[in-house]
Copies of this chain bind each other. A is one copy, B any other.
């Protein structure tokens, strides 16, 4: 079918390729002319036959919000907008309303798979009405991985449910990565273990902890033994924070995912004000030595 695709970055670019390979007609728009098929969102609208389906794949937050607002102006009643970015689910309601006021329909779609999605397919979690989801199904069927549809695609609920499911997916991802990483650090600290990489590699088949992330960890360690080349400074893109905030809102105990989130915060601090305070306290009551900045610098 015909699809407008706004945003041709790392994700959108690959998705256009996969969709075209799947036989769809994709008109892509991106502010960078070298990758864009049209010059503007208005041109995008003009290039598509009504009723249109337009997939938005731009950075979450301001950019997505702006894009949805501009689409509300150039699209027409009966069109359908799919937000496939990592928007917080709380933004989906307002976007659906903003578009709905003009008769335009809305689906939110959580998309997983990263750079591997082009060839392996993207895991999809979508939220919206049955009718809207049915309408976009040919697109979803091409984007999702081959195999049983239920293993790579879910209509998770009404508007917001897709991004909610993706948020939880990413929160879990934080916890999984941290569990593997703690285990790696312990293996690396123990003299008995000749090569942590080989141990982690050997978990690929047959073990309880086998997973895609486990294989990626083995691969990463092979490429950079001991992780000598990179630092532990780790960004977070928001979903981990939102997941813990949702846990608090629902009174769900979430110690594991929260611990992995806090460890990312700590990884980005040059020094920890908390630990400075602890160290100062030890010095106060016990006369324990503190590390002066001049020493530790």
Q: Is A243 an interface residue (CB 8 A)?
A: yes
Whether A284 lies near B219 (C-beta < 8 A) is yes
* Minimum distance in angstroms from A84 CB to a CB of chain B: 14
Whether B114 lies near A285 (C-beta < 8 A) is yes
* Minimum distance in angstroms from A111 CB to a CB of chain B: 9
Chain A, 170-187, contact with B by CB distance < 8 Å: what is the 0/1 string?
111111111111111111
Whether B186 lies near A232 (C-beta < 8 A) is no
Which segment, of A44-52, A61-69, A286-294, faces chain B?
A: A286-294
Given the complex, which residues of B lie within 8 Å of A186, measured CB to CB? 168, 171, 243, 246-247, 250, 252, 254
Given the complex, which residues of B lie within 8 Å of A245, measured CB to CB? 245, 248
Contacts A112-B206, A230-B291, A280-B230 given; does A256 touch B286 at CB 8 Å: no
Given the complex, which residues of B lie within 8 Å of A284, measured CB to CB? 216-217, 219-220
Q: Is A106 an interface residue (CB 8 A)?
A: no
Given the complex, which residues of B lie within 8 Å of A277, measured CB to CB? 177, 180-181, 184-185, 217, 220, 227
Of B114, B158, B189, B279, the residue contacting A231 (CB under 8 A) is B279
Given the complex, which residues of B lie within 8 Å of A288, measured CB to CB? 235
Give the docked Cα–Cα distance between A278 and B221 (Å). Answer: 11
Contacts A216-B284, A250-B186, A262-B255 given; does A293 touch B89 at CB 8 Å: no
Give the docked Cα–Cα distance between A273 and B152 (Å). Answer: 25
Q: Is A145 an interface residue (CB 8 A)?
A: yes
Which one of A160, A202, A284 has the greatest number of beta carbons of chain B within 10 Å?
A202
Contacting B at CB under 8 A, from A148-201, are: 148, 150-158, 160-161, 164-165, 168-190, 192-195, 198-199, 201
Contacting B at CB under 8 A, from A112-137, are: 112-117, 120-125, 127
Whether B194 lies near A157 (C-beta < 8 A) is yes
* Minimum distance in angstroms from A280 CB to a CB of chain B: 4
Query: Could you pull out 15 A-B pairs where Cβ atoms are within 8 angstroms?
Result: A114-B287, A125-B202, A144-B205, A144-B206, A165-B202, A170-B208, A173-B208, A180-B277, A208-B213, A213-B285, A217-B280, A233-B290, A234-B275, A253-B265, A267-B278
* Minimum distance in angstroms from A185 CB to a CB of chain B: 4
Q: Is A228 an interface residue (CB 8 A)?
A: yes
Which one of A115, A160, A169, A244 has the greatest number of beta carbons of chain B within 10 Å?
A169
Given the complex, which residues of B lie within 8 Å of A220, measured CB to CB? 277, 280-281, 283-284
